[in-house]
């Protein structure tokens, strides 16, 4: 990788101090332009093809994460909401050495507000990433090693790792550039319940943002669904997950190529379910699965809010068969 820069130095060699300083900085610029590690890893370079749980938010993704992790075969940490931004930062850092790149990428994880919920020591990941053979160095492999380190410490029997961050729904093309063979599970929920849950959490003024987020998430997931083969995309309805949990989880397990475990329904008893200990809006995770949140929008939204929401999303609700 450094030979072109060396040739550049030889061709434009000048003896003066000013010229040597200029040559040094020109060489740095040249190296920045020509050096670059790829975003993705070709072939079988990754430990698995990861799974991404996506939604508009307030759709039950944390519940799904808790259920799957309880089975002991999937390592999905508490959401960090950051993988979608890593490709941009990785490309911005591309002029750095691999050592500096590795350090900065690990720091991105460790400085995330939700990272303490991982309860993971990233030192082993840094050492593995730092010593990767040149041909294996990519953003995908770097992220792979980070999640493998989490898995080794928290879910040692995991066959695959995944991520649960609703914000990724709005940046799926970025994630596909890094993991073109990754799997995506869209947890779909009645938009009225989603919006009312957001309003309950953030206040009445948030209703416009909530409508926008749900409508946009439907648009983004429809776009990605059309691009991906069936073995990479699965739509799961929240309403079915909470009313027919065992059947729905078995279908998810087939999609992920893992075994269904009855422990998945005991998620609320297990230490792998942690979000409710830190954030009050996840308090329902301390209970067995229940379906009484279906249709809760009737209580949470006043008549004027209901009318507004319906005027904005009735088309999508009909298309998704939530509205006749």
The string of pLDDT tens digits covering residues 215-252 is 999 999 999 999 999 999 999 999 999 999 999 999 99
Percentage of the chain exceeding pLDDT 90: 85
Residue 115, pLDDT score: 95
Max distance between CA atoms of the chain, in angstroms, equals 81
Averaged pLDDT score across all residues of the chain: 90
| Residue 19 pLDDT greater than 90, yes or no | no
Residue 198 has pLDDT above 90, yes or no: yes
Would the pLDDT of 143 be above 90? yes
What confidence score (pLDDT) does residue 272 get? 94
Q: Report the distance separating Cα 133 and Cα 315, nearest Å.
A: 52
CATH number of this structure's domain 55-319: 3.40.50.300
Whole-angstrom distance, CA of residue 244 vs CA of residue 257: 20
Place of tokens 């072109």: 4
Check whether 132 has a pLDDT greater than 70.
yes
Alpha-carbon distance of 240 to 232, in angstroms, equals 20
Structural domain boundaries of the chain?
A: 55-319
For 51-72, how does the pLDDT look when each residue is reduced to its tens digit (9 = 90+)?
A: 999 999 999 999 999 999 999 9
Q: How far is CA 210 from CA 2, 133, 158, 182, 308, in A?
A: 50, 45, 35, 28, 12
pLDDT at residue 35, rounded to an integer: 55
Residue 260 near residue 250 (C-beta atoms within 8 A): yes
């Amino acid at each position: 990788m450094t030979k072109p820069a060396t040739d550049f130095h030889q061709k434009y060699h000048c003896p003066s101090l000013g010229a040597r300083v200029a040559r040094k900085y020109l060489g740095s610029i040249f190296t920045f332009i020509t050096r670059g590690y790829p975003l993705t890893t070709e072939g079988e370079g990754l430990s698995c093809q990861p799974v991404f749980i996506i939604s508009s938010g307030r759709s039950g993704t944390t519940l799904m994460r808790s259920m799957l992790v309880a089975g002991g075969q999937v390592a999905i940490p508490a959401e960090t909401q950051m993988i979608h931004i890593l490709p941009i930062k990785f490309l911005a850092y591309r002029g750095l050495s691999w050592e500096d790149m590795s350090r900065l990428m690990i720091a991105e994880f460790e400085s995330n507000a939700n990272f303490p919920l991982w309860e993971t020591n990233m030192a082993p990941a840094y050492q593995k990433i730092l010593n990767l053979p040149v041909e294996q160095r990519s953003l995908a492999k770097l992220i792979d090693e980070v999640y493998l380190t989490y898995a080794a410490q928290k879910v040692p029997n995991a066959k695959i790792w995944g991520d649960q961050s609703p914000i990724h729904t709005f940046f799926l093309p970025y994630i596909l550039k890094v993991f073109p063979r990754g799997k995506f599970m869209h947890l779909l929920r009645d938009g009225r319940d989603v919006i009312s849950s957001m309003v309950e959490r953030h206040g009445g003024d948030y209703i416009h943002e909530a409508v926008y987020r749900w409508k946009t998430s439907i648009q983004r997931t429809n776009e990605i669904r059309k691009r991906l083969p069936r073995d990479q995309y699965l739509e799961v309805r929240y309403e079915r997950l909470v009313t027919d949990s065992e059947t729905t989880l078995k279908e998810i397990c087939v999609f992920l190529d893992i075994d269904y475990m009855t422990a998945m329904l005991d998620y609320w008893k297990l230490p792998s379910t942690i979000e409710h200990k830190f954030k009050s809006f996840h308090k329902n995770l301390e209970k067995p699965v229940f379906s009484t949140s279906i249709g809760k929008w009737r209580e949470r939204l006043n008549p004027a809010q209901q009318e507004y929401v319906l005027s904005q999303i009735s088309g999508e609700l009909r298309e998704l068969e939530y509205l006749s």
